[in-house]
């Protein structure tokens, strides 16, 4: 969008001028805005503003009206832009004041018949915008605001303006289009230059009638000569021209144009510029920002080294003999960080000798010329330790700053307030090593010297011109300065004496008892008006002594050590947690946890962070307390009570114990909060370290290496994906990337089971000859694609070259990690790089680039890297902490690999690595790219990063940043005379001379040879000679002797450096990353299903969807896509008896238990048996003895009752048969109804169940439990209703008709049979006995309703008068009768087939 468009839109309305004053009026829109603003401003402020505005206009000042508008940048983003409308009071306005205004002149010309004056100037701003639109270059966006390219397009500046700005003014060009100029070209031509305006002023600018004034001719000229009016006007014109030029050349700043949030997002604020140009590593500047003004003395640096060493040694298992060398190593590293400003990668790679402890062991036997000792090296510090030291350095700085602040306060109290030296402060100040210790001292001083501190603050405030703070005293000040403090002393022991007893653990100081009882002596220390009674005075004295104990630093130190070593943690689940946290909830693992010691918490940091999250959600309360608190209290009692035995002593001891109780409550609150925060920080750090380790392993992958390529070379890649793998919707997409990372073509087929498609893919593979085939996708169907591709490669004999030219082997097909590709496919970066490709094709591009360089793909994500899941608990960390630990891993890997700086300058994809280079950051990296782009986009040597005045190359880095980053910026070696071979290695420029000397020694060159070669071929001549087939000679050098010489003569440790130089000369920037990692079975399973072992494993109960039903098995699929099979043995007996095809149907969702799971084939064996489903896998508790089983059982029982009551009263279903009844109420309601009538009611089994009660017969009611499946939410009825795990219905009406009414019809059918007997079982048995007596030789049977089992009939039978009475149960099911697990459609079949066949086979019940 061009600026002229904005200009035209801004000034579409005509400017209006007041006819009397000539001042510009506000437009209608502006007037409305002002009217709105008038309601916000007071009238006084409005008048002041109007007066000031009018004064500025009268005096000719510039008035800027700011307007905000949206502007679209080149990258498509919208930003708020402030525009200034500038109004000047020019000489033209003055001239118009002296003559007629425009409207009056037009009116006169019209009345006299003259031609109307040209009104072009009235719309000059709008027309100027339109005219300049054709010639003006497109406005430059924020991304190009610092571009050094000159704007040569016509219309940038007029010729006159170029002359005025001094020709080629790059600053003016750069901001052209942002400055709005009210004066048009016509006006400039009409007004002319300054000289022309002076001439016009002198010649005819003043119209004076000398005759009217009675002056002689030439009088005005004489007056000009005498008073210098003409010179004055000339100077005024020149002054205004100068002001106009200064105005037009005003140097706009970014903050004048763009919103602060936009500048902050793009790192273009003033603060960012300071970081960008300051010669200190960027990450150091950001981390140390809170401590910019802190200066560390040499003594404090030694103190810090010891402090950090102790902190690290506490976590390491190190040989005692190595502790002193370890401390020395930490001291050196700290000096590198604090004094030399070296970043972690520089120290780790270029100061490695200081991280190693070398021990010389004399050899017993050695030959002449060999070393006389063996060198044994022990690595003391690793790269992760360096990051830890850097983090601890910041913690120590925070401690040091707090200590310095306290010292300043303490010294001010002594020098200005005149307090005496406090022994407690002096002692604890020397022994303080933590911020908590300094806070203890600060609390102590504020309590003891509160009045003096207030006076000190008031005095400082008075000197600074501030008001004196309120002079009110605290209650403890009033006690200390009043009579009650005498009662505090009457307790016979001071807080310091008591604290000393606690610290040493022995009773060294003893309490003295007064001679009277506490309440008697308290009457002597009343203090009006605060403590007017003895009881009030005694209470105040106990509070005062308790507060003195609580603020005593020695006491806090003694108790803090106990809390941080002997504390235990309990979890108290809230009522909300009892309801929400079930056995499958992520918080169940600590729902009833108790007696957790601190080592157990530290061993499972993720669990503790979950506990804190659950507490913040109101599900649990975390309780911190000491182990055996009663024992501690008894010890504290013993340390404060007296040893006397009397009524008075016992009374005072009771009061002293109350003081301890009061103080311990305060200590509990203090240490609970402190312990909570310390544990949180420690657990977050552990999680961050785990994330760093996982991310480092993913970054530590070299490009995929085929047999024919060397490690580190980029392979040619063909990647395929079928997306979600849905048939008919997702096609198979493939793309090819060559060895330079260029995208060539894409391939799309429907299915690889079709021979034509197979041949098409095979032909593409033969044509492109990839080194590897990668596969990934979003579902289990991708595994099918993987298998199809492997088979295609085998069948079509797609091969690659092996280690030998003649050797061929099948091309490898492998699964690829797609976590980066999933983010990339829909990103703005993908749309910019591949605007014409579909998302799935972009996905394949990212997969291929991942094969070629995982670190580049991760780096390109930028801040989106936090979207990738590295650890189950990473969402419990703040985004800032997560980003910090991820950046640490990326910094380590980028500096291990190095960055080709010239490639980074030309390829944004490579430039993503620059911010992670040692010494740099996003700001300095952008500066590097900008400077290189302005100077040809390439540098020849590393030295040119420091600038080359002879070649006109500006300085890019300062000395310190250059020192940090030089060895990690790679410059490919060329044949130029000035090229330096070592610029292509990990060797730092500071060691180039060592490298040249090693090369000369290896070639046996003397100094004269070196000088001659250097003069003829340049500084790199000697090394170039070495590289021409003589590299192996470096192995003949004895580097240990050279290292000893350097250490002896120059005090430089260079053993590791010399080894690095030799290795780099033999193999420059050797690939040190691990080989490309193939995904394991579990990783592929998780990638395609989203399930882990914690979420899906054997014996877990899951929902499955039936896909096929046969009499021998049922095929099903889990929600994650895993295929499952249910054998006949794992089906319920009802399903087997009724045939599975009658029991289950396709599309039905059922609960199943996983019996076995193959993660490789994505296949599971399932069970539908109810007995197994009721026994799912339970979470395994780490420590059962630390689980509150009693509380859990009570909560379960209470929750069951609560749920039952809530379900009955709260569940409402919109159905005419629904009643909010319980079982008893439902039976009473159906008592007067007919058989088959039913009531739908809430169920006590949970929110996913409903109950149906229907009348079977008089006094007999059957209660049916209905399981609701596919519920939209807890308040709606499930879309599938399951009865008995067998019968499924789509709604309640279908259930009533096809289930309840169907069974009622069957009961009516049997009740109408002549063999049915009304009454109870006893009545039926009596009838049967009488019938047999009447017919002794005949068998007989009868039916009766079973009142104990509603829905069942009793089939009573007797084979003769002497036969035993038999009884079978006949179950009524929808549409049939069931006898002995066999169903019969009607009564006739039941009697003639079922009963007749079974009575001789199965014994009766």
Q: State the Cα angle at 258 between 252 and 264, rounded to 5°.
A: 115
Per-residue pLDDT tens digits for 691-742: 999 999 999 999 998 887 888 789 999 999 999 988 778 899 999 999 888 8
Per-residue pLDDT tens digits for 492-531: 999 999 999 999 988 898 999 999 999 999 998 988 888 8
Strand 1123-1127 and strand 1163-1167: the pairing is parallel
Crossing angle between the packed helical segments 922-934 and 270-277, to the nearest 10 degrees: 70
Per-residue pLDDT tens digits for 1148-1161: 888 899 999 999 99
The confidence score (pLDDT) of residue 306 equals 93
DSSP, residue by residue, 378-392: EE---HHHHHHHHHH
The token pair at 522 is 């308290």
The confidence score (pLDDT) of residue 1369 equals 85
Mean pLDDT, to the nearest integer, of 1039-1053? 80
The confidence score (pLDDT) of residue 1393 equals 75
Q: How far apart are CA 63 and CA 84, in angstroms?
A: 9
pLDDT greater than 80 at residue 912: yes
Q: How far apart are CA 201 and CA 195, in angstroms?
A: 10
The token pair at 985 is 């290695």
Mean pLDDT, to the nearest integer, of 1040-1054? 80
Per-residue pLDDT tens digits for 956-1004: 999 999 999 999 999 988 878 778 899 999 999 999 999 998 888 888 8
DSSP structural state of residue 798: -
Cβ atoms within 10 Å, residue 219: 13
Do 741 and 852 meet the contact criterion of CB atoms below 8 Å apart? yes
Per-residue pLDDT tens digits for 1213-1238: 888 888 888 888 888 888 888 888 99
Helix (H) or strand (E) holding 830: helix 828-833
Query: Rounded mean pLDDT of the chain?
Result: 80
Helix (H) or strand (E) holding 1106: strand 1101-1109
Mean pLDDT, to the nearest integer, of 183-212? 47
pLDDT greater than 50 at residue 65: no
Q: State the Cα angle at 72 between 70 and 75, rounded to 5°.
A: 145
Neighbour-count burial for 1162-1200, b at 16+ CB within 10 Å, e otherwise: bebbbbbbeebbeeeeeeeeeeeebbbeeeeeebeeeee
Which position has the token pair 């050349």?
A: 249
Give the phi and the psi of residue 731 in degrees, each rounded to 5.
Answer: -85, 170
pLDDT band at 216 (very low <50, low <70, confident <90, very high): low
Neighbour-count burial for 352-365, b at 16+ CB within 10 Å, e otherwise: bbbbbbeeeeeeee
Mean pLDDT, to the nearest integer, of 308-329? 89
pLDDT band at 84 (very low <50, low <70, confident <90, very high): very low
Cβ atoms within 10 Å, residue 303: 15
DSSP, residue by residue, 693-735: HHHHHHH--PPP--TTS-TTPPPPEEEEE-TT--TTT--EEEE
pLDDT greater than 90 at residue 1123: yes
Q: How far apart are CA 1352 and CA 827, in angstroms?
A: 65
pLDDT greater than 90 at residue 284: yes
Q: Please give, one letter per residue, the 3-state secondary structure of 127-174.
A: HHHHHHHHHCCCCCCHHHCCCCCCCCCCCCCCHHHHHHHCCCCHHHHH
The confidence score (pLDDT) of residue 1386 equals 87
DSSP, residue by residue, 725-744: --TTT--EEEEEE-TT--EE
Most confident of 162-171, 174-183, 247-256: 247-256
Q: How far apart are CA 817 and CA 1121, in angstroms?
A: 19
pLDDT band at 759 (very low <50, low <70, confident <90, very high): very high
Q: How far apart are CA 699 and CA 859, in angstroms?
A: 10
The confidence score (pLDDT) of residue 127 equals 35
Which residues fall within 8 angstroms of residue 787, CB to CB, at 6 or more apart? none
Do 691 and 886 meet the contact criterion of CB atoms below 8 Å apart? yes
pLDDT greater than 60 at residue 77: no
The confidence score (pLDDT) of residue 146 equals 40
Name the region of 1198 (left: φ>0; alpha: ψ -120 to 50; beta: rest): alpha
User: Does this model's pTM top 0.75?
Assistant: no
Nearest partner of 176 among 147, 137, 142, 144, judged by Cα:
137
pLDDT greater than 50 at residue 808: yes
Cβ atoms within 10 Å, residue 1350: 19
Least-confidence region, from 43-52, 987-996, 1174-1183, 1369-1378: 43-52
Nearest partner of 915 among 929, 928, 925, 905, judged by Cα:
925
Do 947 and 928 meet the contact criterion of CB atoms below 8 Å apart? no
Give the phi and the psi of residue 1372 in degrees, each rounded to 5.
Answer: -90, 125
The confidence score (pLDDT) of residue 198 equals 43
Cβ atoms within 10 Å, residue 421: 8
The confidence score (pLDDT) of residue 211 equals 55
Mean pLDDT, to the nearest integer, of 760-765? 92
Least-confidence region, from 127-136, 426-435, 584-593, 878-887: 127-136
Q: State the chain's maximal CA–CA distance in angstroms.
A: 169
The token pair at 1329 is 């006995």
Task: Using a pLDDT cut of 90, give the percent of the chain over it.
Answer: 40
Nearest partner of 1069 among 854, 900, 941, 887, judged by Cα:
900
Most confident of 1083-1087, 1146-1150, 1328-1332, 1341-1345: 1083-1087
Q: How far apart are CA 336 and CA 343, in angstroms?
A: 8
The confidence score (pLDDT) of residue 3 equals 37
Report how far apart the first and last C-alpha atoms of the chain are (Å, whole number).
93
The confidence score (pLDDT) of residue 1031 equals 83
Per-residue pLDDT tens digits for 316-326: 888 888 889 99
Per-residue pLDDT tens digits for 432-479: 989 999 999 999 999 999 988 988 888 876 554 444 444 467 889 889
Per-residue pLDDT tens digits for 224-236: 655 555 555 565 5
Mean pLDDT, to the nearest integer, of 627-636? 90
The confidence score (pLDDT) of residue 389 equals 95
pLDDT band at 857 (very low <50, low <70, confident <90, very high): very high
The confidence score (pLDDT) of residue 300 equals 92
Give the phi and the psi of residue 569 in degrees, each rounded to 5.
Answer: -125, 135
Q: How far apart are CA 374 and CA 354, in angstroms?
A: 19
DSSP, residue by residue, 496-531: HHHHHHHHHTS--S-PPP-SS-HHHHHGGG-BTTTB
The confidence score (pLDDT) of residue 1207 equals 53
Mean pLDDT, to the nearest integer, of 840-864? 94
Do 800 and 808 meet the contact criterion of CB atoms below 8 Å apart? yes
Which position has the token pair 């001659």?
A: 1012
pLDDT band at 238 (very low <50, low <70, confident <90, very high): low
The confidence score (pLDDT) of residue 134 equals 39
């Amino acid at each position: 969008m061009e600026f002229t468009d904005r200009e035209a839109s801004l000034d579409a309305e005509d400017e209006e001028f007041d006819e009397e004053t000539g001042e510009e009026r506000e437009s209608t829109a502006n007037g409305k805005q002002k009217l709105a603003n008038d309601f916000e401003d007071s009238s006084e402020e409005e008048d002041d503003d109007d007066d000031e505005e009018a004064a500025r206009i009268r005096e000719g000042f510039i008035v800027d009206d700011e307007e905000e508008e949206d502007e679209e940048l080149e990258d498509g983003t919208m930003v708020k832009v402030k525009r200034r409308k500038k109004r000047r009071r020019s000489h033209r306005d003055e001239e118009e004041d002296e003559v007629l205004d425009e409207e009056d002149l037009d009116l006169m010309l019209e009345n006299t018949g003259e031609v109307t004056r040209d009104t072009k100037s009235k719309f000059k701003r709008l027309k100027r915008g339109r005219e300049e639109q054709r010639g003006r270059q497109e406005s430059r966006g924020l991304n190009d605001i610092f571009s050094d390219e000159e704007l040569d397009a016509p219309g940038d500046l007029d010729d006159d303006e170029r002359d005025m700005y001094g020709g080629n003014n790059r600053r003016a060009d750069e901001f052209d289009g942002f400055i709005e100029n009210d004066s048009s070209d016509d006006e400039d031509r009409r007004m002319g230059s300054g000289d022309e305006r002076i001439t016009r002023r002198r010649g005819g600018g003043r119209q004076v009638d000398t005759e009217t004034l009675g002056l002689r001719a030439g009088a005005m000229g004489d007056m000009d000569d005498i008073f210098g009016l003409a010179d004055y006007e000339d100077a005024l014109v020149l002054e205004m021209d100068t002001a106009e030029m200064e105005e037009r050349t005003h140097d706009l700043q970014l903050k004048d144009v763009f919103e602060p949030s936009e500048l902050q997002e793009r790192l273009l604020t003033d603060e960012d510029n300071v970081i960008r140009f300051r010669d200190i590593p960027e990450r150091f500047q950001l981390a140390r920002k809170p401590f910019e003004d802190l200066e560390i003395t040499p003594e404090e640096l030694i103190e810090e080294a010891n402090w950090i060493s102790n902190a690290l040694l506490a976590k390491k298992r190190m040989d005692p003999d190595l502790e002193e060398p370890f401390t020395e190593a930490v001291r050196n590293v700290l000096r590198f960080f604090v004094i030399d400003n070296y970043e972690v990668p520089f120290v780790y790679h270029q100061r490695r000798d200081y991280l190693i402890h070398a021990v010389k062991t004399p050899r017993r036997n050695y030959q002449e010329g060999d070393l006389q000792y063996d060198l044994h090296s022990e690595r003391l510090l690793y790269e992760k330790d360096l990051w830890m030291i850097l983090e601890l350095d910041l913690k120590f700085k925070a401690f040091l700053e707090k200590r310095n602040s306290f010292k300043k306060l303490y010294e001010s109290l002594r020098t200005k307030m005149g307090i005496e030296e406090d022994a407690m402060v002096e002692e604890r100040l020397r022994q303080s090593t933590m911020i908590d210790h300094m806070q203890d001292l600060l609390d102590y001083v504020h309590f003891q010297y509160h009045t003096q501190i207030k006076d000190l603050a008031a005095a400082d405030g008075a000197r600074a011109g501030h008001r004196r703070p309120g002079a009110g005293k605290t209650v403890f000040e009033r006690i200390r300065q009043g009579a009650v403090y005498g009662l505090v002393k009457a307790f016979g022991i001071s807080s310091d004496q008591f604290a000393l007893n606690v610290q040493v653990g022995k009773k060294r100081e003893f309490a003295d008892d007064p001679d009277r009882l506490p309440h008697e002596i308290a009457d002597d220390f009343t203090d009006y008006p605060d403590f007017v009674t003895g009881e009030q005075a005694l209470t105040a004295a106990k509070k005062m002594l308790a507060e003195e104990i609580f603020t005593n630093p020695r006491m806090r130190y003694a108790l803090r050590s106990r809390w941080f070593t002997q504390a235990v943690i309990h979890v108290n689940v809230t009522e909300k947690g009892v309801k929400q946290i079930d056995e499958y909830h992520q918080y169940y693992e600590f729902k009833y946890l108790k007696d957790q010691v601190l080592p157990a918490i530290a061993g499972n940091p993720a669990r503790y962070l979950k506990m804190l999250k659950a507490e913040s959600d109101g599900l649990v309360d975390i309780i911190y307390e000491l182990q055996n608190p009663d024992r501690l209290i008894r010890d504290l009692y013993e340390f404060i009570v007296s040893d006397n035995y009397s009524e008075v002593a016992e009374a005072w001891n009771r009061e002293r114990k109350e003081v301890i109780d009061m103080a311990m409550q305060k200590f509990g609150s203090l240490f609970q909060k402190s312990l909570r925060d310390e544990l949180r920080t420690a657990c977050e750090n552990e999680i961050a370290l785990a994330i760093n380790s996982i991310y480092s392993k993913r970054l530590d992958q070299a490009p995929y290496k085929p047999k024919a390529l060397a490690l580190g070379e980029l392979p040619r890649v063909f990647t395929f994906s079928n997306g979600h793998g849905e048939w008919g919707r997702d096609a198979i997409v493939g793309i090819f990337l060559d060895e330079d990372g260029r995208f060539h073509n894409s391939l799309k087929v429907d299915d690889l089971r079709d021979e034509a498609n197979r041949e098409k893919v095979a032909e593409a593979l033969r044509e492109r000859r990839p080194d590897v085939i990668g596969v990934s996708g979003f579902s289990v169907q991708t595994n099918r694609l993987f298998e199809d591709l492997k088979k295609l490669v085998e069948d079509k004999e797609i091969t690659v070259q092996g280690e030998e030219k003649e050797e061929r082997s099948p091309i490898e097909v492998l699964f690829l990690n797609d976590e980066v590709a999933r983010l990339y496919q829909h990103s703005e970066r993908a749309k910019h790089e591949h605007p014409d490709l579909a998302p799935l094709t972009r996905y394949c591009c990212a997969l291929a680039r991942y094969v070629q360089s995982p670190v580049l793909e991760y780096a390109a994500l930028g801040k989106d890297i936090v979207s990738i899941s590295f650890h189950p608990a990473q969402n419990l960390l703040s985004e800032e902490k997560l980003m910090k630990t991820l950046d640490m891993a990326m910094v380590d890997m980028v500096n291990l690999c190095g960055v080709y700086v010239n490639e980074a300058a030309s390829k944004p994809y490579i430039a993503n690595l620059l911010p992670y280079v040692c010494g740099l950051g996003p700001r300095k990296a952008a500066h590097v790219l900008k400077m290189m782009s302005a100077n040809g986009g390439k540098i020849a040597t590393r030295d040119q990063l420091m600038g080359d005045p002879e070649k006109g190359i500006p300085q890019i880095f300062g000395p310190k940043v250059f020192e940090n980053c030089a060895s990690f910026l790679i410059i490919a070696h060329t044949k130029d005379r000035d090229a330096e071979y070592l610029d292509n290695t990990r060797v730092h420029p500071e060691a180039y001379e060592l490298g040249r000397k090693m090369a000369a020694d290896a070639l046996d060159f003397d100094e004269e040879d070196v000088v001659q070669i250097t003069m003829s071929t340049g500084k790199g001549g000697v090394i170039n000679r070495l590289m021409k087939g003589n590299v192996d000679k470096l192995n003949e050098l004895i580097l240990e002797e050279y290292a000893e010489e350097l250490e002896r003569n120059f005090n430089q440790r260079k053993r590791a450096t010399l080894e690095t130089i030799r290795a780099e000369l033999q193999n420059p920037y050797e690939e040190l990353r691990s080989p490309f990692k193939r995904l394991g079975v579990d990783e592929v399973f998780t990638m395609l299903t989203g399930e882990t072992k914690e979420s899906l494993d054997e014996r877990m109960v899951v929902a499955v969807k039936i896909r096929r039903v046969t009499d021998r098995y049922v095929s099903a699929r889990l929600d994650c896509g895993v295929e499952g099979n249910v054998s006949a043995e794992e089906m319920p007996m009802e399903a087997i008896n009724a045939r599975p095809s009658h029991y289950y149907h396709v599309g039905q969702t059922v609960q199943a238990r996983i019996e076995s799971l193959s993660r490789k084939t994505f296949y599971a064996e399932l069970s539908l048996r109810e007995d197994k489903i009721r026994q799912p896998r339970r979470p395994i508790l780490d420590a059962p003895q630390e689980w509150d089983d009693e509380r859990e059982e009570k909560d379960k029982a209470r929750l069951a009752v609560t749920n039952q009551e809530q379900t009955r009263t709260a569940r409402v279903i919109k159905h005419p048969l629904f009643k909010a009844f319980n079982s008893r109420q439902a039976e009473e309601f159906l008592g007067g109804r007919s058989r088959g009538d039913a009531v739908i009611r809430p169920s006590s089994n949970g929110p996913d169940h409903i109950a149906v009660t229907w009348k079977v017969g008089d006094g007999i009611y059957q209660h049916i439990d209905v399981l609701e499946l596919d519920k939209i939410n807890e308040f709606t009825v499930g879309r599938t209703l399951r009865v008995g795990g067998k019968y499924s219905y789509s709604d309640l009406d279908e259930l009533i008709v096809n289930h309840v009414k169907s069974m009622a019809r069957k009961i009516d059918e049997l009740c109408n049979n002549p063999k049915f007997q009304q009454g109870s079982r006893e009545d039926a048995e009596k009838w049967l006995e009488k019938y047999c007596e009447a017919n002794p030789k005949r068998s007989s049977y009868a039916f009766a309703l079973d009142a104990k089992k509603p829905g069942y009939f009793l089939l009573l039978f007797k084979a003769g008068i002497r036969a035993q009475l038999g009884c079978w149960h006949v179950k009524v099911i929808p549409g049939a009768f069931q006898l002995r697990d066999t169903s019969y459609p009607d009564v006739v079949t039941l009697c003639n087939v079922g009963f007749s066949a079974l009575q001789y086979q199965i014994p009766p019940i």
